[in-house]
Structure 1
Amino acid sequence: MTPPTIGVLALQGDTAEHRAVLDGLGARTAEVLAPEHLDTVDALVLPGGESTTMGKLAVRYGLVEPLRARIAAGMPAFGTCAGMILLSDRVVGAAADQTTVGGIDMTVRRNAFGRQTESFETCVAVDGIGEQPFDAVFIRAPWVDSVGPEASVLGRLPAEDGPGRIIAVRQGGLMATSFHPELTGDARVHRLFVDIAKGHS
């Protein structure tokens, strides 16, 4: 079976790190910087970075409506941190000029875990990657306040009381995490997305 070509939105953020993990899993990768690049990929990663800046650049490069159209047509997409915000249908704490692509029926809270100095690592359980916990890196990360009936929660932050904050979500071919799996050396979350992309290609 021909491996899927997975694009990485290269406007800003961890483009090279995502491509390195995906290449290591045998996927073909490509940078996406223009609408015509979307025609060459089977799936797309929206990396971490600064969500407001990424949204502004997506508008400037004419990518917003083509991205919305491809996602609405069923293209698999995986958003990490800022990419989670871009894939959300609703954002709490959004800047006045915040632009999102949407696609996942969820409400995301921007910068929910605090500033850069409050970044942290912790082990989390993520459905679909095996029983071993994932060492997740959170950098100015969002969390998910709520999901709609079409979306499934894949992971929550451990909590002493209550279910814990939602930090990983899937809806069909769309997936999003609050954390940065590309920074860990553990490819299991990316492998799950590659499998999703294979199933849709």
Structure 2
Amino acid sequence: LLNVIGGVPFKARAYERAARALENLPGDFDALVKSRRLTQIDGVGNALAAVIEEIYRTGESAMLQQIRGEMPPGVVELNAISGLSLKKIIALHEALRIEGMADLQRACQEGLVRAVKGFGQKAEAKILAAIEKLENREDRTLLDHALAEAEAVLHYLRDAPEIAQCDIAGSLRRRKETVRQIHMIAASGDPKAVID
């Protein structure tokens, strides 16, 4: 959601890195939380540790609830549509009560979107085309499935002695809802050995 609301990009990346670190944590997570040693995890500072502890204790995050409360319903689904910013999603929700892709598709087909300030007939046609493209995405993989695959490959690559550093790149790193390919980037003192 931090990516959707257009927050500070480094904050969203920090949360993503911390989530990956927690998923791959070899030690006892409960012990780290109870002993208040979460900041020993690479990439977890005091503020992020406080959020993790809150989720651990209560099962919820006040910050996440606040962000969700400020967002119109369906914002994550609608954000997958190319060309729709949060500002435009909010305008559509306020004018037409759009709460998801099906609502938006129906409103476009009925010619209602073009009447909303900031949209026109051309924008309406582009939105319809983008929705159709998303519906016909058989050659694409959902984000969570692609992330799971990428994490497995990253785990393997990070164990390779030739690789100094590696991470995901491309649409997967940008957290697009669907991904066509998994792109990775690696740094090595011996790139030829890595490629071979």
Higher-helix-fraction structure: 2
Structure richer in strand, relative to its length: 1
Higher relative contact order (CA 8 A, sep 6+): 1
Larger Rg: 2
